Amino acid sequence: MTPAPDTTAERAVLRVVVADDHDLYRRGMQVVIGLEDDIMIVGEARNGAEVVDLAIELAPDVVLMDVRMPVLDGIAACRKITAAVPATKILMLTMSDDEGDLFEALRAGASGYLLKDQPAEEVASALRAVHAGHSMIPPSLAAQLIAEFGRLSRRAQPATAGPHLTDRELEVLRLVARGCANKEIAKELFISENTVKNHVRNILEKLQLHSRVEAAMYAMRRNLLDEVDD
């Protein structure tokens, strides 16, 4: 477990921790990320237990990690990081295209799931995207996720957002479920992005959810999406 030297401490950069049990892959990420002026790897971990410790110590903006790791797998590590450092986003980058891994990662609080066969430059774009509030799902797995949403919809309860959400929070939840980023929600509702962030945080806390994807699935289960355009 080796924190990387911070040579750009005074610059506004996206701080990332990389966790993968393959040394060569971690070094490759150092090279790729090193080409980006606005992203910096602040720590590396070789297993799930190490990345949990690093995330708690460094509170990075994003953790980029594999699903399959020794000591503690990526899904379990994701749950621990989400509970301990809720502001840190988690992007899974893995060889596994198993839909079970995808669903488990999202349920554990991951904001994105990328396959390792993606072009290197897309990793940097994905890091920026999840940090900005987007949910990243590879096209090859998106259809499976949509199918899962459809299954949940068929079992949906009567439309209700539960007793704890305000009308404004319900509006924000519906837009989150449509895949809107904070900037888009702010424009739609004529409020600031910081206000949107506060609403999203409150929604997740009230509903005891960990990510925007979970919030979208919650909206689907509660049959809220049909009311988005009302």
Tens place of pLDDT per residue across the chain (230 aa): 655 555 444 457 999 999 999 998 898 888 888 889 999 999 999 999 999 999 999 999 999 999 999 999 999 999 999 999 989 999 998 887 676 787 788 888 888 888 888 777 788 999 998 998 887 876 666 655 655 555 555 554 554 555 578 889 999 988 887 777 788 899 999 999 899 989 988 998 888 877 777 787 777 767 776 544 44
pLDDT of residue 225: 63
Architecture of domain 156-227: Orthogonal Bundle (1.10)
pLDDT of residue 219: 79
CATH number of 2-137: 3.40.50.2300
pLDDT of residue 1: 63
pLDDT of residue 229: 41
pLDDT of residue 7: 45
pLDDT of residue 210: 73
Task: Give phi and psi for 45, each to the nearest 5.
Answer: -135, 150
- The vertex-107 CA angle with 194 and 159, nearest 5°, equals 75
User: What global pTM score does this model have?
Assistant: 0.65
For the chain, the structural domain boundaries read: 2-137, 156-227
pLDDT of residue 63: 97
Q: What is the DSSP string of the chain?
A: -EEPP-S-TTS--EEEEEE-S-HHHHHHHHHHHHT-TTEEEEEEESSHHHHHHHHHHH--SEEEE-SS-SSS-HHHHHHHHHHH-TTSEEEEEES---HHHHHHHHHHT-SEEEETTS-HHHHHHHHHHHHTT--B--HHHHHHHHHHHHHHHHTPPSS---TT--HHHHHHHHHHHTT--HHHHHHHHT--HHHHHHHHHHHHHHHT--SHHHHHHHHHHTT-GGGTT-
